[in-house]
A and B are shown apart, each in its own frame.
Chain A
Amino acid sequence: MKFLYLVWTNLKRKKMRTVLTVLSILVAFLLFAYLAAIRQSFSQGIDVAGLDRLIVRHKVSIIQLLPVAHEARIEQVEGVVDAVHQTWFGGVYQKPTNFFPQMPVDPEEYIAMYPEVLLGDAEREAWLNTRSGAVAGRQIADRFGWKIGDRIPINATIWTRKGGASTWEFDLVGIYDGAERGTDTSMFLFRYDFFDESRQFGQGLVGWYTVRIADPERSAEMVAAIDAIFANSQYETKTEAEGAFLQGFADQIGNVGLIITAIVAAVFFTILIVAGNTMAYSVRERTNELAVLKALGFSDRGVLGLVLGECFLLTAIGGGLGLFLGWLLVSMGDPTGGSLPVFYIPNRDMLVGVVLIVLMTVVAGILPALQAGRLQIADALRR
């Protein structure tokens, strides 16, 4: 404890410098935390992808539709537990920039396939009993201030109604929550039977299938078995594990992870130099005092520890505050005002942040600390 006091007193001697150094370290860690959340939202959902789920889509591209009859044929494959279909509706709410996923699904089957979608029993019941009923995720409902009972008009950009009208009205019967932090709660789900009878064209066609398999270990085998059924038909399929499908989608955006890592590296490099230089400077400035400490009986290692401890305290305060402020900033919402489906800092990245605090201490502090440890008392006192 007495050493902590010594370290603390040393930091206080040049208050301005200490505060500025802490602030620049704080900024580096704040950016680190914020960018971690951005990266997470670009790799949306890969972490929460079900290992036992596969995605089946048209071989040529995902915009090509598949017959709804594929569902029964997929379910006949040995090892398949269940298959559900989804279709991209692609409508907008009020204005074109209010863009979020809307999908016609079979309510009962969908809820069974996605246990991470949490819907109350009464709301579920209401959905099953209302043909024009829809449920919205918590995030999207909050974004537009929707309440259960609201009538929500969605303007179709693809799926016009019979007669050519493009506005669809849905009754909001439920709001679902996500079982995990990474669950996408920006979706708007409504009933396929209602959709199919009302759409102007494309009856009996759906976008893609999600398939649950009994044994994730056999996933490669199942992929081949499903694609084999439809080979050489007009509707050939491409099946992938859900994680691979989402990863492929994230990769389409470009290597965002790499770009963000590069930015974070540039930031850290810069801050490291600033912090390292400050440490070196304050050690040089105190050469005399350190020599006195040694003359009083401090060992080489003791002085080394003192300098490293000072560096650690600086980094820990700055880094800790930075991570905390980053977390605070992230919980205030994403920079696009709600169009990112998930926005949070994964625990993994918080842990990396703590490791970085230690690493930065060592890298920035080791040279000045060694220098201080090696001081020859007689030489140093004479300076």
Chain B
Amino acid sequence: MAGLFNWVSQIASIALFNLRSMPQRVGSSVTAVIGIAGVVAVMVSVLSIAQGILSTMENSASPNNAIVLRSGATSEMMSIVVGDDARIIAEAPGLARGEGGALASPELFVIINLSKRSTGTDANVPLRGVTPQAPLVRDRFRLVEGRMFEWGRNEVIVGVGAQREFEGLDIGSSITVAKEDWPVVGIFESGGGLAETEIWVDALVLQPAYQRGNSYQAVYAKLESPQAFQSFKDALTSDPRLNVKSLRESEYYAEQSAVLYNLITGLGTLIAVIMGLGATFGALNTMYTAVSARAREIATLRALGFRSGPVVISVLFESLMLALLGGVIGAVLAWLAFDGFRAATLNWSSFSQVAFAFDVTPGLLALGVSFALLIGLVGGLFPAVRAARQPVSEALREQ
């Protein structure tokens, strides 16, 4: 017990002594802190882009909802569901019911060119033809400005993300489709989901404008409960009249975002690892410098009876403190600069734009700080061991 106490008090006194002498080494300590802060800031920012896209996709999915596509189609962009099939799907078991009957909304999905506000260049903006069931199927649909379009009229409503990212989507302006002007009459939200990047119009208005006859591309359905999905799916799969596949919304959106999410996460991780390596070299440099500057002090302590364990731990402690400081600064910088930062990119799966906000989550912050501590650990370990191993007599003689 006394031995342990002695050990701890040795660590504490060397660590304190180190910290007190830090002002003499401000330059190199600050360098290490800045290096680590830079790594963490870049890593957290890049990963927050991927997280933001993932959050948007997750916000789009409701556990009660399913989406039906032509079998073989990987997104609704490529799918076709003819009107008769849509009617059969609406009669399937397990669907929730509202005033207008089963909550199944056959929808059209096309894109139109609009200018991006940030660059002024063309972007593929999703234009969705919907039925009166569409707002009922989506729990989080809410008009925030203006009014709903009138069914059968050439009017559109616009998601808040689309309005923010693209030109000419404010209430009162209009989009040009099939040589007609379709005025924007309302702005809607949808819980931060994908629909917020879309423009909505009556499907019956969009069909003739795009020469689609009586066909749709996907059916969005609200089920009685998440458990009803299996029977709904089985009924559609076994119906010989249909050639469709049904997916839970959560599965569908996870698939839609997989390519983009993996690409950005992979790239972000790669950059962070390489940068982290750079910062580790920086931290090693700092700590070697710190240790060699104090070689004589450390040797004196050991000559006085301090053991090498506490010497190692105290050097590590200093390096971890610097790393922690750097990590926290980097994480906070990334959070201040990018949390909620809005952007839009092309989602390959649907060939259309998706607006999202960078999402610096507590998990990412923790990841950033942990990474910083790892750098501090590696950066401190080797110099610490060297300090402890150096023969006392040699170190005392050094200049």
* Interface assignment of A63: CB less than 8 Å from any CB of chain B: yes
Cβ of B47 within 8 Å of any chain A Cβ, yes or no, is no
Identify A252's interface contact among B178, B210, B353, CB under 8 A. B353
The size class of the interface chain B forms with chain A is: 35 or more
Alpha-carbon gap, A60 to B95, bound state (A): 36
A241 to chain B, nearest CB (A): 13
Provide the bound-state CA to CA distance between A31 and B348, in Å. Answer: 26
Contact of B282 among A63, A255, A274 (CB under 8 A): A274
Bound complex: CA of A51 vs CA of B258, how far in Å?
36
Whether B363 is near chain A, meaning CB under 8 Å from some CB there, is: no
A227-267 interface bits toward B, Cβ cutoff 8 Å, 1 = contact, 0 = none: 00000100010100000000110011111000000010011
> Does A354 make an interface contact (CB < 8 A)?
no
Q: Please state if B42 and A263 are interface contacts (CB–CB under 8 Å).
A: yes
Whether the Cβ atoms of B285 and A253 lie closer than 8 Å is no
Q: Is the CB of B178 within 8 A of A60?
A: yes
What residues on A are CB-neighbors of B281 within 8 Å?
Answer: 20-21, 23-24, 27, 274
CA gap between A28 and B177 in the complex, in Å: 49
Distance from A196 Cβ to chain B, minimum over Cβ atoms (Å): 18
B111/A266 in contact, CB under 8 A: no
Given known contacts A157-B74, A252-B123, A278-B285, A266 and B41 CB-to-CB distance under 8 angstroms: yes
CB within 8 Å of B: which A326-344 residues: 335-336
The CA of A60 and the CA of B113, in the complex, are separated in Å by: 6
Q: A20-B284, A247-B121 are in contact. Are A254 and B343 (CB under 8 A)?
A: yes
- Chain A residues 7 to 49 lying within 8 A of chain B, measured CB to CB, are 16-17, 20-21, 23-24, 27-28, 30-31, 34-35, 38
- Do A263 and B278 touch across chains, with their CB atoms under 8 A apart? no
Contacts of A114 in B (CB 8 A): none
- Would A252 and B346 count as touching, CB distance under 8 A? yes
- Of B28-36, B60-68, B145-153, B303-311, the segment with at least 4 beta carbons within 8 Å of chain A is B28-36
Find B38's partner among A158, A251, A270 (CB 8 Å cutoff). A270
Beta-carbon contacts of B104-116 to A below 8 Å, as 1s and 0s?
A: 0000001111001
Q: Is the CB of B278 within 8 A of A28?
A: yes
| Interface locus among A69-77, A79-87, A90-98, A374-382 | A90-98
Does A358 interact with chain B (Cβ within 8 Å)? no
Q: Name the A residues within 8 Å of B277 (CB-CB).
A: 23, 27
Assess whether B38 is in contact with A267, with CB atoms less than 8 Å apart. yes
Q: Given A60-B112, A251-B116, A266-B41, A232 and B179 touching (CB < 8 A)?
A: yes
Answer whether A277 and B31 are a contact pair too, CB < 8 Å, given A96-B74, A267-B275. yes
Please judge, given known A-B contacts A23-B281, A248-B122, A267-B38, whether A274 and B274 are in contact too, CB under 8 Å. no
Q: Are B259 and A157 in contact (CB under 8 A)?
A: no
A155 sits at the interface (CB 8 A): yes
B275 closest partner in A (C-beta): A267
Which listed residue (B78, B121, B270, B348) contacts A251, Cβ 8 A? B121
- CB of A313 within 8 Å of the partner chain: no
**Cβ-defined contact, B113 with A61, below 8 A:** yes
Give the docked Cα–Cα distance between A136 and B299 (Å). 69
Q: Any chain A CB within 8 A of the CB of B9?
A: no
A30 to B72, CA, bound (A): 42
Are the CB atoms of B74 and A24 closer together than 8 Å? Answer: no
Chain A residues with CB under 8 Å of B243's CB are 164
Is A273 touching B274 in the complex (CB atoms < 8 A)? no
Cβ contact within 8 Å between B288 and A254: no
Q: Given A266-B41, A273-B31, verify A61-B111 contact (CB < 8 Å).
A: yes
Residues of chain A with a CB closer than 8 A to B271's CB: 31, 35, 263
Q: Does A299 contact B (CB under 8 A)?
A: no
A232-B179, A281-B28 given as contacts; is B274 within 8 A of A34 (CB)? yes
Contacts of B210 in A (CB 8 A): 64
- The size bracket of the interface on A is 35 or more
Neighbouring B residues of A160 by C-beta, 8 Å: 72
Chain B contacts for A263, CB-based, 8 A: 42, 46, 271
* Complex Cα spacing A49 to B360, Å: 38
Q: How distant is B336 from chain A, measured CB to nearest CB, in Å?
A: 15
Q: Is B263 among interface residues, defined by CB-CB distance under 8 A?
A: yes
Residues of B near A31 (CB, < 8 A) are 271, 274-275, 278
**Residues of chain A contacted by B259 (CB below 8 angstroms):** 97, 99
Whether A253 lies near B275 (C-beta < 8 A) is no
User: In the complex, what residues of A have CB within 8 A of residue B75's CB?
Assistant: 157
**A61 adjacent to B112 (CB under 8 Å):** yes
Residue from A232, A255, A274, A281 whose CB has the most chain B CB atoms within 10 Å: A274
Question: Which residues of chain A have C-beta atoms less than 8 A from B57's C-beta?
Answer: none
Contact check: which of A35, A92, A156, A252 meets B124 at CB < 8 Å?
A252
Any chain B CB within 8 A of the CB of A295?
Answer: no
**Given A92-B74, A232-B179, A277-B31, is A20 in contact with B274 using a C-beta cutoff of 8 Å?**
no
Are B78 and A158 in contact, CB atoms less than 8 angstroms apart? yes
19 inter-chain pairs at a CB distance below 8 angstroms, sorted by A residue, are A20-B282, A23-B277, A63-B110, A63-B124, A64-B210, A157-B75, A251-B121, A253-B345, A253-B346, A255-B119, A267-B42, A270-B278, A273-B31, A273-B34, A274-B31, A274-B281, A274-B282, A278-B285, A336-B266
The 5 closest A-B pairs by CB, nearest first: A27-B278, A270-B38, A24-B281, A157-B78, A252-B346
* Interface contacts beyond A23-B277, A252-B121: sample of 16 additional A-B pairs, CB < 8 Å, sorted by A: A20-B282, A24-B279, A24-B281, A28-B278, A35-B271, A61-B113, A97-B259, A156-B72, A157-B73, A157-B75, A238-B113, A248-B122, A270-B35, A271-B282, A277-B31, A335-B267
Interface positions of B (Cβ within 8 A of A): 27-28, 31, 34-35, 38-39, 41-42, 46, 72-75, 77-78, 110-113, 116, 118-119, 121-124, 177-179, 210, 243, 255, 258-259, 262-263, 266-267, 270-271, 274-275, 277-279, 281-282, 284-285, 288-289, 343-346, 348, 351, 353
